[in-house]
């Protein structure tokens, strides 16, 4: 796979925190402090965005906005976003270190691509203060990427491509058509596409299915498969070049992308109907 210069991974739901459980729960808990009933499903919709943007999108949801108006007598304003986020950031910083367990298959995936001298970068909707808690815990469990860029290090978070750009600078990786973005949210896919990269959307381990490893194994396989199928369709509609259940399924996709790069095919020219995606 010598044609691939770098792989840029998302964190929660892709590399660590199977099911992206940590951040969704924090949003529900913090909104409850303001007498707001935000469901896990609602909290997951904007996942992948910078957390302040995530907060703003939740408040803009019609059903949430109606709750706010009923309680506070007016539409939520930007100062309300700032106030909620001021509670959210420390709450999330406290909890996400407990969700640093690598997704099954991550270590094998990284060992494999490292054997081809492919660099490993990361982007995240978490801010730097949150990552200061998460990164050491992940490192203890064997996950230590070559580059980590958080949403607070760039002018705008996802879906803007700036975190991918900063990864490229720090990794000395170029061109973007020789790089791959892997993530489990629509924002991840849009981020990669906007940077001109190949993209792989993850379903089973990610936010769109939204079940922990234990929950997946205990659930009805029929229901799980339906959720995986729905997640795949959503990520494909967002423009993902390939779809996989988890990081454990991505090596054969990288081999396919490597062949396409060798043939000088660009991500923008890719015909998704001919992909190996499931």
- 22-98 to CATH, choices 1.10.150.240, 3.90.1150.10, 1.10.10.10, 1.10.286.10: 1.10.150.240
CA pair distance 225, 246, nearest whole angstrom: 14
Q: Do domains 6-20+101-274 and 22-98 have the same CATH topology?
A: no
> Has residue 182 got a pLDDT over 90?
yes
Identify the active-site residue in 5, 17, 51, 184. 51
Round the average pLDDT of the chain to a whole number and report it: 96
Q: Is 51 a catalytic residue?
A: yes
pLDDT digits (tens, 9 = 90+) for 206-224: 999 999 999 999 999 999 9
Cβ neighbours of residue 48 closer than 8 Å, sequence gap 6 or more? 10, 125, 158, 183, 184, 185, 186, 187, 188, 191, 207
Confidence of residue 271 (pLDDT cuts 50, 70, 90): confident
Residue-wise pLDDT tens digits, 99-145: 999 999 999 999 999 999 999 999 999 999 999 999 999 999 999 99
pLDDT(277) > 60:
no
Nearest residue to 221 (alpha-carbon basis) of 234, 242, 204: 204
The span from the CA of 71 to the CA of 79, in Å, is 16
For the chain, what are the domain ranges?
Answer: 6-20+101-274, 22-98
Percent of the chain with pLDDT over 90: 96
Structural fold of domain 6-20+101-274: Rossmann fold (3.40.50)
Identify whether 10 is a catalytic site residue: yes
d(CA 239, CA 16): 23
Q: Which of 10, 184, 188, 249 is catalytic?
A: 10
Kindly indicate the confidence band of residue 276, based on its pLDDT and cuts at 50, 70 and 90: very low
């Amino acid at each position: 796979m010598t044609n691939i210069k770098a792989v840029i991974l998302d964190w929660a739901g892709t590399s660590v925190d199977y099911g992206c459980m940590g951040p969704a729960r924090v949003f529900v808990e913090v909104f409850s402090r303001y007498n707001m009933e935000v469901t896990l499903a609602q909290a997951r919709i904007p996942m992948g965005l910078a957390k302040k943007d995530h907060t703003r999108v939740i408040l803009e949801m019609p059903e949430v906005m109606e709750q706010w108006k009923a309680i506070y007598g007016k539409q939520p304003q930007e100062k309300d976003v700032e106030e909620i986020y001021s509670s959210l950031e420390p709450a999330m910083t406290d909890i996400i270190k407990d969700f640093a367990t690598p997704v099954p298959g991550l270590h094998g995936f990284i060992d494999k691509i490292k054997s081809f001298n492919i660099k490993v970068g990361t982007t995240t909707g978490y801010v730097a203060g949150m990552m200061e808690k998460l990164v050491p815990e992940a490192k203890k469990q064997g996950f230590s990427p070559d580059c980590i860029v958080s949403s607070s290090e760039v002018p705008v978070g996802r879906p803007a491509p700036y975190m991918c750009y900063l990864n490229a600078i720090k990794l000395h990786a170029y061109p973007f058509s020789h790089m791959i973005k892997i993530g489990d949210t629509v924002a991840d896919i849009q981020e990669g596409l906007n940077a001109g990269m190949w993209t792989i959307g993850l379903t089973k381990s990610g936010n769109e299915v939204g079940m922990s490893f234990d929950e997946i194994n205990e659930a009805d396989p029929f229901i799980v498969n339906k959720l995986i199928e729905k997640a795949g369709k959503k990520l494909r509609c967002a423009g993902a070049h390939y779809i996989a259940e988890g990081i454990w399924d991505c090596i054969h996709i990288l081999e396919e992308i490597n062949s396409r790069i060798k043939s000088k095919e660009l991500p923008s020219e890719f015909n998704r109907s001919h992909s190996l995606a499931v």
